[in-house]
Every structure is written in C-alpha cells, then in structure tokens.
C-alpha cells in the first residue's frame, strides 16, 4: 500500500496535522497529534486482526475481498472497548460482476460515486483538471468489461471470455506447500508487455496450485533470472517450461535456470485448461491460485488500469467478435494473455487429464539434474 493508497492518505491527512509515521518505508502505524492511532495491515491474512478491538476499519478496493474476509473484519469493530460511539467497517470499491457479494449483502449501505465527484479529476464547474485529462484518457481507451466497469462505472459481467473463472472457487487461501509435491516453473517472456514467471505445485491428486508469480514490465531478463534463482532457494524445481525466445532462454540458462521449450498449440491447450478449471468428479477444479502469490506489484500496470497478475487476465482474455457482436471462438484476442499463455504451457507440459497428472507424480523417483 505504500506506493498507492498510503500516498493519498498521507497527503490528505496531513492537512489537519501531520502524523508521526512508524515502520520506515513500509508504515505499520500512524500516530496523530490528538492521540489517535491508525494501524496498517494487509488483508492477505484477515485473522491477524482477530486480537484487536478497533473503532473503524477501512478497506481499500473492497471488491477484492471474499465475503468471509469481510465478515471476519465485522467482528473486530462491534463497539466493545471502542472509543467512538459509532464503530464502523467501511471501504471503497470498483464495480465488479453483478453477482458480487457486495451487491447482494443487504446489511451494506452502498453510496454511488462518479469520476466527476473526484476533485483531483474535476473541479466544481465540471471541468477536467490536468490529472483528470490524463486519467480519463486512459480509462476511455480501455476495452471490454474493464471499460464498462472502470470508465462507465457499471456492475457488469464479462462476456465472450475464454475461460469460466470464479475467484470464489479458483482463488484459495495460502498454505504451506508440502515438500513432497511436484514443483514447476513456467515463463512467458516480455518487456513492454509483462514478463511472467509462475511457480506451480501439484498435489498427489493432480491438483495444481500457482503459489508464486512474477508479473512485471520494463525489466530485463537478466534481472528476472536473478530473482527467479533467489525466490526458488531451497525448492526442488522439477522443470522450467519457457516460451521459445532463444536469446531470453539463454540468459536464464547463464544463471542456472535451465528451460524446456513450451508446447504452444493454442486450441488443444485452451481446451485442456478449460477442463482443468471445470469441476472434476469430486466437485473441485484442478487449477487453483493461492492468494498473495504476486511477488511485486507493477505500479505502471496499475496506473494504466491493466491486469497486474494472472487472475486479472481471466476477465479480459476473450474471443474476438464479428460485426454483430457475436464471439468468434477460433483464436483469442492477442491482448492481456501473458499469464494465460504461461498457464497453458503448464497444463500442456504436465498433462491434460487427471490420470496423467496423478501418474506423473512418481517422476521424483527418476534420477535427474535438479535446479534450485
């Protein structure tokens, strides 16, 4: 939060008396002249607040929370031990799908706001500020569901997407990956577009869990290679599957990251991923994404309102449309697909059906060179 919401918070809150900041570059709390204290915490583990009795809890981008996270936080500002007479859990959010729990929770009071309400974008006369012109130009240039939500402010569902992805089902809380599970890395190269490296673990039942991810622009492969080696310390990586760029693969090789050329067939790969995302015989999918897997958020992508991780791509990875607006299910639009490509490489490498994945587990018994 230090590079985003806290910058705005510090600028505005200092108008009434600059607070003291504790925690260095990553603020842990603010202390105000009147004795008030504001604690800063991530929502990656909402249980961390269970020991606190708080007056107010504010959530930035509440649409990214699961309903269970929100309900956990409601138990911490009930008024017990509070200083204020009006304890409250509140937040802001961008529009999401019409099925989102925020719209269906009757106890919430929803206050609609528009871009014209933002004084950094518009002055009272309705005229755009310099910042407003820059921001609105970016938002207006968005396409599909992201334009509908972020520019027009509509709660709409994504249409024509390639995969049926449900954050509530496919994104799961973090847990410690058992040492005996298979681990693989997958790389999709990029510089102007995101460079993606995903770490996947596969359990004995054939379920794959993405547990770490680099998703960055404007950084050379040499630097990514160092990060990949550092982040993989102590892990037994069975293989690294990579896009076919020979020079970039050679750069990884120089740093000890040996790669296997990815199987890049698009249509069979998409069909295999669709099968993995669908519920299997036990009612569960075979592809999962652990919360908090992103190593570092790319603020340039945030500023341009582009996806910042693989999960964000699902809602914008879509089939092209004909003149009448109908989806042409041939080859997806070649945009916002870098995490999608990496995920497809993983599925193609490991296998397309549950039996193949499960039977592949004994590969650890085969002597081979390990990359750490």
Instruction: Give tens-digit pLDDT for 112-152.
Output: 999 999 999 999 888 999 999 999 999 999 888 889 999 99
Residue 356 has pLDDT above 70, yes or no: no
Topology of domain 5-115 in CATH is Rossmann fold (3.40.50)
Instruction: Give tens-digit pLDDT for 65-92.
Output: 888 889 888 888 888 877 888 999 999 9
Q: How far is CA 247 from the centre of its chain?
A: 29
In this prediction, residues 290-319 reach a mean pLDDT of 92
Report the share of the chain in percent with pLDDT over 70: 91
CATH 3.30.1330.60 fits 167-365, yes or no: no
Give ∠ CA 293-294-297 in degrees, rounded to 5: 160
The CA–CA distances, whole Å, from 349 to 5, 192, 265 equal 40, 27, 11
Domain map of the chain by residue range? 5-115, 167-365
Q: Is the pTM of this model over 0.75?
A: yes
Q: Radius of gyration of the chain from Cα atoms?
A: 23
The CA–CA distances, whole Å, from 282 to 54, 166, 205, 207, 354 equal 41, 17, 11, 11, 12
């Amino acid at each position: 939060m230090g590079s985003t919401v806290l910058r705005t918070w510090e600028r505005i809150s200092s108008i009434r008396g600059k607070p003291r900041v504790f925690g260095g570059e990553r603020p842990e709390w603010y202390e105000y002249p009147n004795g008030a204290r504001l604690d800063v915490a991530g929502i990656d583990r909402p249980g961390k607040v269970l020991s606190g009795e708080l007056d107010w809890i504010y959530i930035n981008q509440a649409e990214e929370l699961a309903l269970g996270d929100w309900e956990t936080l409601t138990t911490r500002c009930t008024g017990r031990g509070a200083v204020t007479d009006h304890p409250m859990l509140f937040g802001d959010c961008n529009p999401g799908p019409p099925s989102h729990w925020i719209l269906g929770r009757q106890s919430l009071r929803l206050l609609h706001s528009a871009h014209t309400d933002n004084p950094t974008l518009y002055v009272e006369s309705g005229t755009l500020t310099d910042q407003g012109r820059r921001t609105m130009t970016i938002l207006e240039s968005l396409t599909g569901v992201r334009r509908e939500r972020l520019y027009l402010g509509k709660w709409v569902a994504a249409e024509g997407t390639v995969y049926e992805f449900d954050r509530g089902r496919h994104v799961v809380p973090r847990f410690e990956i058992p040492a005996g599970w298979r681990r693989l890395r997958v790389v999709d190269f990029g510089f102007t577009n995101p460079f993606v490296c995903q770490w996947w673990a596969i359990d004995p039942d054939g379920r794959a869990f993405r547990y770490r991810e680099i998703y960055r622009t404007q950084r050379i492969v040499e630097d990514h290679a160092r990060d990949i080696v550092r982040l993989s310390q102590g892990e037994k990586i069975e293989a690294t599957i990579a896009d076919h760029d020979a020079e970039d693969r050679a750069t990884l090789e120089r740093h000890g990251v040996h790669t296997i050329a990815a199987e890049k067939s698009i249509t069979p790969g998409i069909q295999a991923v669709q099968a993995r995302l669908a519920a299997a015989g036990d009612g569960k999918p075979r592809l999962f994404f652990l919360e908090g897997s992103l190593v570092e958020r790319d603020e340039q992508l945030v500023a341009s309102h582009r996806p910042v991780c693989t999960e964000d791509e699902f809602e914008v990875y879509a089939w092209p449309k004909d003149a009448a607006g109908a989806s042409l299910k041939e080859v997806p639009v070649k945009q916002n697909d870098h995490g999608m490509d990496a995920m497809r490489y993983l599925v193609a490498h490991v296998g397309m059906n549950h039996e193949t994945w499960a039977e592949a587990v004994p590969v650890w018994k085969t002597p081979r060179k390990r990359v750490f």
